[in-house]
Amino acid sequence: MSDNFWDTVADAPEKEPPTSVLAPSEPGEVFPPASPAFDGARLSLEAVDSGRIYTAQLSDFDVSVWDSENDAQEIIDWFNQEYAKQGGSGKSLKFFKEATDISSFNSKADAKTFLALALGILNGKINIDKNGDLEGWISGDHPQWMKQYEASATKWANRAAASAFTVLMIGVLVSGSILTVSLLGQLDGENWPTGEAEVVEFEEWVETSCGDEGCSDTQYAFATFRLHCVLYGVEWKCDGNATANTTVFEYTYESGFFEHAPVAYMIDELSGEKTHAIAYNPLNPEEVDLRPGFQMNWEWLLPVFIPCAILLVIARNPHVSVKAGYSSIFSR
């Protein structure tokens, strides 16, 4: 067991001691002189089977935040101490930075990459040949540009979240406004008087639409009404009987999602009928309600609640930031 505080290694089964240890007859440069980052690095042993398995983790080091090269040196010092026991020569910070394509050590991800390289060499999975090349290590697997790519991806994800948030918010405002107008209209007409209106025309039909998932039917209805009204002072009194003194008001009514009377109500109440009781505004009989009294269609809330739920999901998503997205959009 190593006396190094950071060495969390498990002793592997004992092996027969090698009959001889190969050492190069003429120590050579690990990296050619043209690479000043690795000047002084010497190759003592190409590969040494130490019989130990290194499993060090970042939590084994006395570092709380991996954000400086001094923190990186903790890993390097531990590596050099253990590598020296295998007969290897010490490696510098520059060695690790160039081997991992990390130009600026400043994150926990960088520390993981350094430690992965150190463990790979110590456990014999990564070898340093006579030319100074690393065998079994692809620097592109842990490149510095990966952080830049992830930062760019996060930026665009935040922008997408901000854009989706804006579109959904507009949808909520529009649908909420329509819902509010519909409800206010129902409240205004809740106490209107009723009169028997003549059903001039009533028609219902079904439209079929087909897509990749199959076909669906949608029911529609259309009606034309006629009220005969007499003015008494400032108010009108209306019914379905025509006289010499009545004024005729005619209305058309087509089913729709935000209409007070849904298509099912129209079909049930108007099919085969000659008259139908409707509510009218006594001050202006041009305003009528096919279904008297206040009625709440709960499906009206769907265009408001569904976008609100999606907005909540976006706002609470830990992987994106709507605020950062807006900041990125308006800072361009």
Out of 276, 293, 310, pick the residue that ends a domain.
293
Residue type for position 325: G
Residue 86 lies in a domain: yes
Residue 186 lies in a domain: no
Q: Do 26 and 83 fall into the same domain?
A: yes
DSSP 8-state secondary structure symbol assigned to residue 60: G
Residue 44 lies in a domain: yes
Q: Do 41 and 120 fall into the same domain?
A: yes
The per-residue DSSP string of 126-167 comes to: SEE-TTSPEET--GGGS-HHHHHHHHHHHHHHHHHHHHHHHH
Count of structural domains, the chain: 2
Residue 88 lies in a domain: yes
Question: Minimal CA–CA distance to 299: which of 175, 206, 177?
Answer: 175
Out of 126, 142, 158, pick the residue that ends a domain.
142
Residue 46 lies in a domain: yes
Q: Do 203 and 116 fall into the same domain?
A: no
H-helix or E-strand spanning residue 10: strand 9-11
Q: Do 84 and 15 fall into the same domain?
A: yes
Out of 123, 142, 161, pick the residue that ends a domain.
142
Q: Do 130 and 28 fall into the same domain?
A: yes
Q: Do 29 and 137 fall into the same domain?
A: yes
**In sequence order, which ranges of the chain are alpha helices (DSSP H)?**
69-85, 93-100, 108-122, 144-188, 263-270, 302-316, 322-330
Q: Determine if the pTM surpasses 0.75.
A: no
Cβ(328)–Cβ(161) below 8 Å: no
Residue 154 lies in a domain: no
The per-residue DSSP string of 245-287 comes to: T-EEEEEEEE--TTSSS-HHHHHHHHTT-SEEEEEEETTEEEE
Q: Do 41 and 128 fall into the same domain?
A: yes
Q: Do 115 and 199 fall into the same domain?
A: no
- Burial of 175 (C-beta count, 10 Å sphere; 0-12/13-18/19+): buried
Q: Do 129 and 17 fall into the same domain?
A: yes
Residue 126 lies in a domain: yes
Residue 164 lies in a domain: no
Q: Do 133 and 58 fall into the same domain?
A: yes
Report pLDDT for 78.
93
- Burial of 191 (C-beta count, 10 Å sphere; 0-12/13-18/19+): exposed
- What is the extent of the structural domain holding 46? 9-142
Token pair listed for 160:
């997408």
Report pLDDT for 139.
58
Tell me the angle at which helices 69-85 and 93-100 cross, rounded to the nearest 10 degrees. Answer: 100
Report pLDDT for 14.
47
Q: Do 27 and 115 fall into the same domain?
A: yes
Give bridge partners of residue 247 from the DSSP assignment.
229
* Mean pLDDT, contiguous 10-residue spans, the chain (332 residues): 46 44 37 35 37 83 91 93 88 87 86 89 83 67 52 81 90 83 72 86 87 84 88 86 83 70 79 85 85 68 83 85 85 68
Residue listed under structure tokens 């076909």: 215
Q: Do 41 and 132 fall into the same domain?
A: yes
